[in-house]
Chain A
């Protein structure tokens, strides 16, 4: 929410109440309203492939956002850096969180990684721009907040210091988004190496004047102590895992090595619990506030200054801040109509496609029937021919037999004739 600039208020006197009024209940009302509305949080993870980003996200939110079937970087080798987002709705204790994870596969993986941060910057800027436009519309009923609230940057555990790519990236993004550097796969480092590495990184961060996310000081002393402890541990060294292993009778999440089990939630093994508590339990709202009040305002003032300075927006002309409300409404109506038309066209297309499919299917089944008909006909013909053949054979046999009979008869006749002849002959004699 944007704070309206406060008008100068003349001296405010503090009064003591003489009875219970009841506005102490305000926080509860706010709480109930926000719970009903639900929360949104957008988290971006950046780092080279193979640093355990997906595993860490799964461990943080105890879900399988990146399941085993999700194609890993080995199959997702892209030539340029892509920015992908996945939304998931998590519910806990009646509170609903729409979590958007923005992933950047391909970051730092190519041989030439110059400007691999550009797609990331473009994405963040485009989300801020969307919000800016949504804010400037006449109809502001639904204003989804897709701005990136936090960027987790994964540093490879080399043990030496930051790489040139790390420094470049953080320098370019520290005034656009809250950058939280993390040491990935921290189970590679022994405790001493980890300490040295952290010191080296912090030194380099200060050298290059990189502004990473700072935890705000609160009025509570206890909280301040905790915050100071967290600050000492920056950058946080994390290990991720969702595999449950049994250690000394207890079930813990960790990684099983032949020499021991690295426990994810053990504060002495890694800083995962610190990260989780900080990110989700204590500072989520603060991250959103800083994004809104600092980074977004930076973007907005830069954008508006560019427009008013030149009179012509040198960046993409998507912002229509100088049009009158009526023109704005007209524009919105046109947009809506176009959207409807597009949907209509799409549905027509789908319908046509379905009709074609059905026709094709019918044709296919017709062809199939024809084929079967042909086949049966051929079968019948074959059978017919077969029978013909048999009949012919039979006829032949019959004829043969008849011929034979005739011959026999002939013979008989002959025989009787000769007998008669003989008889006649005999009579003469």
Chain B
């Protein structure tokens, strides 16, 4: 402390003021108020979505653990089920909401199965917008907007399916989509690399921008970091909530007759990378992109359609601005 600090006009300050303690103040504040994070998982049944979410947050947070049976019937239409938990780590509290979408892609005719999901996302935006536009606003608007949507790609080893493309095309502009390759222990390492390359090429050719989107990179540092991440996406993940003993260590994994797949071993799968990316480095960025870009897009469209900035009527009829 005592480094010469350069002020806005380029002049050096003559002594230590203490502006940099604002970081500490922010930290204390956020620890008190806590975070909210809403994550949505999409993919047809049997891809290990609930297991992965449990593994990510190292606790039983998926809807499967909250009392639904394992072999429940596939619903006839896509349902949106959200489960909230408060988890704490190092004094930081997080209200985590996991939104599950059972029934997606499971029917014989899957036309428009993305509509309930799109409607849900827009409804959350609408709720937030209503609160914002109110004359007397709440001190802290509860944020139920979907910050991140993890899309599970089936590990066919060939290419994306039509349904995958349709969904991502339609939703990549309202929510941050993070594609992952589910059940990656189906493929050998070479098959995985080939599959990833093909998927990335297809996404590029269709103009689908998954998170982190290239257009939102702030500076060169961001760009180079994100470029590295974009090169390895989509992450090939394996989830598990069972522990086994490997080399005198307890690890999370899946035990098969020919070996144990370690979930957190970077040579086996990319779960650790996904977790670091999602939670340890880009969590705040996900929320910011959702707030500054996706929400603003929705808001602009909504207000333009309404023709002005007046509080939106609270009679519950939303037009879906698709």
Kindly list chain A residues whose C-beta atoms are within 8 Å of the C-beta of B161.
109
The residue that A259 contacts in the complex, of B111, B158, B260, with Cβ under 8 A, is B260
Kindly list chain A residues whose C-beta atoms are within 8 Å of the C-beta of B108.
112-114, 116, 164-165, 168
Residues B109 and A187 in contact, CB atoms below 8 Å apart: no
Q: A72-B158, A159-B46, A187-B256 are in contact. Are A111 and B163 (CB under 8 A)?
A: yes
- How far is B156's CA from A94's CA once the two chains are assembled, in angstroms? 39
Residues B162 and A190 in contact, CB atoms below 8 Å apart: no
B186 interface residue (CB < 8 Å to A): yes
Residues A255 and B71 in contact, CB atoms below 8 Å apart: no
The residue that A261 contacts in the complex, of B110, B162, B258, with Cβ under 8 A, is B258
A365 interface residue (CB < 8 Å to B): no
B185 interface residue (CB < 8 Å to A): yes
Kindly list chain B residues whose C-beta atoms are within 8 Å of the C-beta of A111.
109-111, 162-163, 166
Kindly list chain B residues whose C-beta atoms are within 8 Å of the C-beta of A158.
45-47
Kindly list chain A residues whose C-beta atoms are within 8 Å of the C-beta of B183.
157, 188
- How far is B159's CA from A110's CA once the two chains are assembled, in angstroms? 13
A127 interface residue (CB < 8 Å to B): no
Q: Is the interface of B mostly helix, strand, loop or mixed?
A: loop
Residues B267 and A262 in contact, CB atoms below 8 Å apart: no
B292 interface residue (CB < 8 Å to A): no
Kindly list chain A residues whose C-beta atoms are within 8 Å of the C-beta of B45.
158, 160, 163
Residues A164 and B107 in contact, CB atoms below 8 Å apart: yes
A50-106 contacts to B, CB under 8 A, are 50-52, 72-74, 77
Q: A50-B156, A164-B74 are in contact. Are A74 and B198 (CB under 8 A)?
A: yes
Per-residue A-contact encoding for B249-279, CB less than 8 Å = 1, 0 else: 0000011111111100101100000000000
The residue that B256 contacts in the complex, of A160, A164, A258, A262, with Cβ under 8 A, is A262
Kindly list chain A residues whose C-beta atoms are within 8 Å of the C-beta of B47.
158
Q: Is the interface of A mostly helix, strand, loop or mixed?
A: loop
Query: Nearest residue in B to A204 (C-beta to C-beta)?
Result: B71
Residues A260 and B156 in contact, CB atoms below 8 Å apart: no
Q: A110-B162, A164-B74, A260-B258 are in contact. Are A188 and B111 (CB under 8 A)?
A: no
Q: A160-B46, A257-B188 are in contact. Are A50 and B111 (CB under 8 A)?
A: no
The residue that B162 contacts in the complex, of A52, A109, A156, A191, with Cβ under 8 A, is A109
Residues B111 and A163 in contact, CB atoms below 8 Å apart: no
B157 interface residue (CB < 8 Å to A): yes
Residues B185 and A49 in contact, CB atoms below 8 Å apart: no
Q: What is the interface size of chain B, counting residues whose CB is below 8 A from a CB of the partner?
A: 40
B86 interface residue (CB < 8 Å to A): no
Kindly list chain A residues whose C-beta atoms are within 8 Å of the C-beta of B189.
257-258
A200 interface residue (CB < 8 Å to B): yes
Per-residue B-contact encoding for A255-269, CB less than 8 Å = 1, 0 else: 111111111001011
CB distance from B282 to the nearest CB of A (A): 27
A253 interface residue (CB < 8 Å to B): no
A147 interface residue (CB < 8 Å to B): no
A319 interface residue (CB < 8 Å to B): no
The residue that A50 contacts in the complex, of B109, B158, B258, with Cβ under 8 A, is B158
13 residue pairs of the A-B complex, CB under 8 angstroms, read A73-B158, A114-B108, A156-B46, A161-B71, A161-B74, A163-B74, A188-B185, A188-B186, A257-B258, A257-B268, A259-B256, A259-B261, A268-B257
Question: Can you list the 7 inter-chain pairs with the closest CB atoms, starting with the nearest?
Answer: A158-B46, A50-B156, A260-B259, A259-B259, A260-B258, A74-B159, A112-B109
Binding site for B on A (CB under 8 A): 48-52, 72-74, 77, 109-114, 116, 156-161, 163-165, 168, 185, 187-188, 190-191, 200, 255-263, 266, 268-269
Contacts A72-B158, A74-B159 given; 9 further ones with Cβ under 8 A? A111-B111, A160-B46, A165-B108, A185-B186, A187-B256, A190-B254, A260-B258, A261-B258, A262-B257
